[in-house]
């Protein structure tokens, strides 16, 4: 299929919404969403939509499945073990490169909140200062080789990330990847004084997204539209009305405390991860073709992906707000 046909297939889905014979949303249609980690405020908009009944009003019955270090949301959605999944935009691009037909249909955050966490006394003040250091990262993390190339590192080492802050707290020279919405809080709780340098400062800036199978987009766009719109409704409310949802998150994840959730919500709001920055022309839920193209080209240039597929097959703006 050529690029023109791919464009028509995904970008023209808005027209299909008017055709009753294509797809349907039956009352109570079951939907499974698998998140990218254990229940967290970073998932708050989905829980808001569920608890407030927005999914039910849209005719769908959503079950939120918790993630974790071995969840593999991309594979679960690709194998029809879940209907929607959460991840980063580069996850979607790499999945399509491996032949997993998933499509990003919406965003949870304008920018990925991943960063490098160092101790405040560390000489590492910018990403360019990482030369000669060792960083704990998840193997296969796409932004790591980007940093190596961008800053010309000759002696930057990586070790496997343990999904813990224990080593960081014990070692004043320890450096690890983190989500600014999470690990810094736990490090401070254990007496450390962390500082975070966001990866987006390097120019590596994928969206945080939710995705589904291409087959579902093509065969039942009304169902996808129902899920996306109800989810966005939940996200728009969550940052200013999170009390009920946070209680539900704490019930599902006993490690969450009111202080942790307050911290995460404040970071999400203050740094405009979810709603975007209107001064930059960013609109909640709106994904831009130029940013997807830039990420696609970057990963190809890094040889992280071969990119022998149409980018239009990997994401669509048919379900989000229009310019």
> Where is 204: in which H helix or E strand?
none
Question: For 233-262, how does the pLDDT look when each residue is reduced to its tens digit (9 = 90+)?
Answer: 999 999 999 999 999 999 999 989 999 999
Ranges of each domain in the chain: 3-15+23-111+205-313, 114-202
Complete DSSP assignment for 113-150: -EEEEEETT-S--SGGGGTT-EEEE-TT-THHHHHHHH
Question: What average pLDDT score do residues 287-291 get?
Answer: 95
Question: For 78-94, how does the pLDDT look when each residue is reduced to its tens digit (9 = 90+)?
Answer: 999 999 999 999 999 99
Question: For 103-134, how does the pLDDT look when each residue is reduced to its tens digit (9 = 90+)?
Answer: 999 999 999 999 999 999 999 999 999 999 99
Write the CB contacts of 148 (distance below 8 Å, at least 6 apart in sequence).
156
Fold agreement between 3-15+23-111+205-313 and 114-202: yes
Quote the pLDDT of residue 22: 44
Better pLDDT: 16 or 168? 168
**What global pTM score does this model have?**
0.88
Beta bridge partners of 197: 116
| Topology annotation, domain 3-15+23-111+205-313 | D-Maltodextrin-Binding Protein; domain 2 (3.40.190)
Quote the pLDDT of residue 71: 79
Quote the pLDDT of residue 68: 85
Average pLDDT, the chain: 91
Place 323 in a pLDDT band, splitting at 50, 70 and 90: low
> Where is 103: in which H helix or E strand?
strand 102-109
Q: Kind of pairing, strands 84-88 and 114-119?
A: unpaired
pLDDT(313) > 90: yes
Quote the pLDDT of residue 158: 95
Domain 114-202, what architecture?
3-Layer(aba) Sandwich (3.40)
Q: Which of 3-7, 157-161, 187-191, 293-297 has the lowest mean pLDDT?
A: 3-7
Quote the pLDDT of residue 13: 46
pLDDT(16) > 60: no
Quote the pLDDT of residue 70: 80
Instruction: Identify the sign of the CA torsion 18, 21, 26, 29.
Output: negative
Place 321 in a pLDDT band, splitting at 50, 70 and 90: confident
Write the CB contacts of 190 (distance below 8 Å, at least 6 apart in sequence).
165, 169
Quote the pLDDT of residue 5: 46
Question: What average pLDDT score do residues 5-14 get?
Answer: 46
Quote the pLDDT of residue 322: 74
């Amino acid at each position: 299929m050529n690029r023109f046909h791919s464009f028509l297939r995904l970008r023209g889905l808005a027209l299909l919404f008017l055709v009753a014979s294509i797809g349907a949303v039956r009352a109570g249609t079951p939907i499974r969403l698998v998140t990218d980690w254990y229940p967290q405020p970073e998932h708050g908009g989905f829980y808001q939509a569920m608890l407030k009944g927005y999914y039910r009003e849209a005719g769908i019955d959503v079950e939120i499945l918790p993630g974790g270090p071995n969840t593999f949301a991309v594979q679960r959605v690709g194998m029809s073990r879940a209907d929607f999944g959460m991840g980063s935009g580069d996850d979607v691009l790499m999945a399509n490169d491996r032949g997993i037909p998933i499509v990003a249909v919406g965003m949870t955050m304008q920018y990925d909140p991943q960063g490098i966490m160092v101790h405040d006394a560390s000489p590492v003040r910018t990403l360019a200062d990482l030369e000669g250091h060792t960083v704990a990262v998840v193997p296969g993390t796409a932004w790591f080789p980007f940093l190596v190339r961008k800053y010309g590192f000759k002696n930057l080492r990586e070790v496997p990330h343990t999904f813990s802050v224990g080593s960081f707290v014990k070692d004043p020279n320890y450096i690890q990847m983190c989500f600014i919405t999470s690990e810094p809080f736990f490090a401070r709780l254990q007496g450390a004084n962390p500082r975070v340098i966001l990866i987006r400062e390097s120019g590596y800036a994928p969206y945080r997204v939710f995705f589904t199978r291409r087959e579902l987009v093509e065969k039942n766009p009304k169902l996808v539209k129902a899920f996306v719109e109800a989810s966005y409704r939940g996200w728009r409310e969550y940052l200013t009305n999170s009390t009920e949802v946070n209680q539900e998150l704490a019930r599902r994840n006993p490690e969450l405390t009111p202080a942790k959730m307050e911290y995460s919500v404040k970071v999400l709001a203050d740094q405009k991860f979810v709603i975007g920055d209107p001064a930059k022309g960013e609109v909640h839920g709106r994904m831009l073709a130029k940013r997807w193209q830039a990420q696609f080209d970057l990963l190809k240039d890094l040889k992280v992906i071969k990119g022998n597929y149409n980018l239009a097959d990997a994401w669509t703006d048919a379900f989000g707000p229009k310019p």
